[in-house]
Amino acid sequence: MQILFCLCSLVVLTLVQWSFAATADQWRGRSIYQILTDRFALLEGADLNACAPGDRSYCGGSWNSIREKLDYIQNAGFTAIWISPVNQNYDGPPTPYGMPYHGYWIADVTKLNARFGTAEDLHALVDALHQRGMYIMVDIVVNNVMSTSKTPDYSSYLFKDASYYHPYCPIQWGNVSSEQNCWLGDDIVHLPDIDTSNPEVIDAYRAWVADFVQEYDLDGLRIDAAKHVDVSFWPQFCNSAGVFCMGEVFGDENVDPVAAYQGPDALASVLNFPMYTALQSAFFIPGDNNVSALVDVLEQSQAKFVDTTILGNFIENHDVPRWRSKSVDPQSMYNAMTWTFMTDGIPIVYAGQEQYFSGAEDPYNREPLWPSGYKNTVAYTLVSELNAARNFLVSNKSGIDWASAPTKVMTTSPHGIAFEKGPVITILTTIGSPGRNGTNIAVQTGYTPETLFFDVTSGGFGDGRCRQWVTGSAGHLDVQYTRGGRPVVLVRADVLERGDLCKDEVGWAIIHYEQSDGVSRRSKKWSLVGTVICAYLSSLYLL
């Protein structure tokens, strides 16, 4: 009887562990909304005017206030959130850099940050997300703790003796050993570097992360400063966590040093900093309009990363300047953002991006969201449309494995780029908002003439969603920019008819007819008026 009880307990434990283990395959089709807990929302009755980013102080956001604003996130189509670290932080007198409202100045990683709520509050947030079918990714800091001294009292940390830390040394950037063993921070705020090669540290971290993920039923981890830890640490750590791990490997357009951190002997995923850098080169206005940078990074990435379809795509986060602080044209953001949704990888939108926030360096890129009024801006609408398209494409209804399909560049020009991913053709431009007569991007698709597509977004113009596009006599598409540089996302009609996206428009355009040989086939037919409209839109791009 006792043996039977033990076997049953083992089965139950296995099922419990399986239930919270979200894998890379499950994350591949998700889209993520990134939140700094302190800056996303306030509870009812709080002072909405009491948060100046330059003060670097706590503003009052909490896990409960996130939970109360989940409609705003889900209505935009996001299927996951990433929240800032939940663990205990430094809580002494204000430093010259303010207080750790951001959550990255770790004290004891095994305890929660009471500034953001209780264990019950965190459980309630996770439960609310799971009831909506959404995932939660929690940011964690493993590389270091925080101190106001080079000789800290280690007794307040998880690792309570100096022998568990590397001796103090300033980082020599570009030297991998120094970046992994020396201390981040500076002479004002020190970040003592934990020796993650120490077997006792490894065992303690593995035990902690297993308990942490299971206790709060987490779906994924975003790992801060992952490149400052020896890569061999990560497989055993993430195996113990049992969930998808996405690491921050800060870098530029160089693919190799970032790609080294993805794989079976490293992390499942990393943030795609090389593509982030290339997107700036291509789409910033004013800027280089260097579309070839996108192609180069994409080709290198597909050759050197283990799996580009689970990389974290972004154009903003809390560590880099807001897009709008560097690029004056909203259409530049719309096109860059569309790339992050429609190419290989998991799209990530940083809270405030959809509200046109323009803070530059830290702390001004960490603005509170509530002054925006959570408006349904054009950018918010575009994000919603991109999510709707992506969520359909990765769903069972679409009948395809779109998320795993590789991105293929179809054409580039001085004005933009067209690429294909499964039955979707996306055409992006670098020209910005002003209309340009005679400016076009011509795409040779490889499809037969009169293949029917629908543009599944309004491209940031607020109108024109679900417009028909038809390939020409040679299978080509021609996008002209008489009203400016909106992105175009074309999904093949026979795929769309399987779901509700553009349902009414697709329904009248596709009919069955019986061919003379008696075989029932699907054909693209429309009225004379529809033909004229499609031809007019495809040739003049009147929006």
Question: What residues form the annotated binding site?
Answer: 105, 222, 319, 366
Taking alpha carbons only, the member of 222, 233, 224 closest to residue 346 is 222
Q: Which position has the token pair 């206005």?
A: 285
| Interatomic CA distance for residues 465 and 183, integer angstroms | 51
Sign of the Cα torsion 137, 143, 145, 148 reads: negative
SS3 112: strand
How far apart are alpha carbons 520 and 506 in whole angstroms? Answer: 19
Tokens of 228: 């400052």
Q: How far is CA 162 from CA 153, 156, 534, in A?
A: 9, 12, 71
User: Which H or E run contains 146?
Assistant: none
Contact 471, 540 (CB under 8 A): no
CA distance 459 to 428: 10
Residue type, 23: T
What string of H, E and C letters represents the secondary structure of 341-407?
A: HHCCCEEEEECCHHHCCCCCCCCCCCCCCHHHCCCCCHHHHHHHHHHHHHHHHCCHHHCCCCCCCCC
Q: Is residue 424 helix, strand or coil? A: strand
Name the β-bridge partners of 429. Answer: 416
Q: Which residues are annotated as catalytic?
A: 224, 248
65/61 Cα distance (integer angstroms): 6
Tokens 């490149």 correspond to what residue?
227
Enumerate the known binding-site residues for substrate.
105, 222, 319, 366
Buried b (16+ CB within 10 A) or exposed e, 39-65: bbbbeeebeeeebebeebbbbbbbbbb
Output 280-285 pairs: Cβ under 8 A, ≥24 positions apart. 280/326, 280/327, 280/336, 281/253, 282/336, 282/417, 282/430, 283/327, 283/332, 283/333, 283/335, 283/336, 283/428, 283/430, 284/326, 284/327, 284/332, 285/327, 285/328, 285/329, 285/332, 285/430, 285/432
DSSP of 428-488: EESS-SS-EEEEEEEEE--SPTT-EEEE-S-TTSSS-TTEEEE--TTSEEEEEESS----E
Residue 440's nearest CA partner among 412, 473, 467, 478 is 478
Residue 474, C-beta contacts closer than 8 angstroms, at least 6 positions apart: 444, 449
The structure tokens listed for 373 are 């009024």
**What is the identity of the amino acid at 220?**
G
Q: Which of 356, 350, 352 is nearest to 368 (CA)?
A: 352
